[in-house]
Amino acid sequence: MSTAHLILAALLLPLIGAFCILLARRHPNLREGVTLTTAVVLFACVAQLLAPVLAGERPAFTLLEPLPGLPIHFSVEPLGMLFALIASGLWIVNSIYSIGYMRGNDEQNQTRFYICFALAIAGALAIAFAGNLLTLFLFYEVLTLITYPLVTHAGTEKAKAGGRVYLAILMGTSVLFLLPAVIYTWYVSGTTDFRPGGILPADLSPQAIVVLLMLFMFGVGKAALMPFHRWLPAAMVAPTPVSALLHAVAVVKAGVFSVVKIIVYVFGLEHLAGATHWLVAIAGFTIVAASVVALNADNLKRRLAYSTVSQLSYVILAAAILAPLSVVGAVLHIAAHAFGKITLFFAAGAIYTAAHKTEVSQLDGIGRRMPWTMAAFGIGALSMIGLPPAAGFVSKWYLVSGAMAQAQWFALAVVLASTLLNAGYFLPIVYRAFFRPLSAEAAAHPHGEAPLPIVIALTLTAAGTVALFFFPDVPLALAQQMVAAP
């Protein structure tokens, strides 16, 4: 199969899977078997593109050209390759988890859930393989619309209110900021293609570059840069597998992926010198402010949500520093955060399913009842803090190295402060779980681990978080290839 056919197959497989899930809606075992099979076949398809990309090829495929010079075009470069591997690979694990969670909590509308999840993966892959800004924008919007039914899955007034915030912020920022940025880029450049070194004309004024960068950065609302971050905690009304999709597999990854791709392939690192000081400042503020909110949040999912807001701005901060080392750190943190944060949300869902606990203050001694879950949570927490042997240490190392190379002392101070804050809101959870006695209420209602599919899934992602620390070769090679491109 040619590389162009592999791209087309990767985009079509989740759509075919969604249709087959619909046909199997009356047979839960078959429906979930179709979901898992589609996820495995998709990952195998995406993985076949890795060797050509590492060898320097850029597989491409044009779907159609609705306007002259504005095609719906797909091209696989190193950053998109990594995002596609993450989205397709974690779909397998999330599907295993979803089987245990959706059945364990007797969730309604399970067929709709699996269909929308498959469609969301299709949208994420289309974003990953987008060869130009037009294609990126179209599927960025598609992903927002597809995930809305997942956010409002419960059907309650609270879920609907959260969905309205989700839709209003993400659609509002993309229409008000991102779309004008795409149109202006096409106007001044004559193209929307992504190219190494950027596409903007050399004579574009510094003021125009700063304004355009602002439009792009705030227009990519999925990156949750303050003040356009509230959609993320609002979306926590969704079931935990959806939270994992939002935070680790597709939605926020589409945001920070777009930020890095635009900085590298639209502006170019060398052309942004002196234009990103404001972005460093806002990303730094977002990191620290969100960490402070997380520190004071007793609800576990809310704490994890604000942790995500903070961690996403690590990627933005690293890209805004403009050093090749820090951009490598940004790319690595996309992968590290994906595995670490999905593990944390899987653990939160396991606690809810087995013990019906949602607050940090309720977790005393729970590690004795759920040792696999809380050990996995501890590994995910280490990664978010940036400590070995977890993947977050590797990405932070490159971020700090790039900041030092550029004498970005403010960025270094932010990383140090946020590392202490991360430890402050994660380590007490682990301490409570393993070193405090069970509360009287918990002791009166004994329970064990969550259903086996949940435990298998969180164990796999925790193992992946450690594996990325010891074997970062593939994401590191892709990141270095991206910044080394002429």
Contact 183, 278 (CB under 8 A): no
Res 247: pLDDT: 65
pTM: 0.93
Closest CA to 15 of 131, 126, 144, 149: 126
**Cα torsion 76, 80, 82, 84: sign:** negative
Distance CA 106, CA 88 (A): 26
Residues 39-63 have pLDDT tens digits of 999 999 999 999 999 999 999 999 8
Contact 326, 318 (CB under 8 A): yes
Distance CA 272, CA 261 (A): 14
Low-confidence ranges of the chain (pLDDT < 50): 486
Res 486: pLDDT: 45
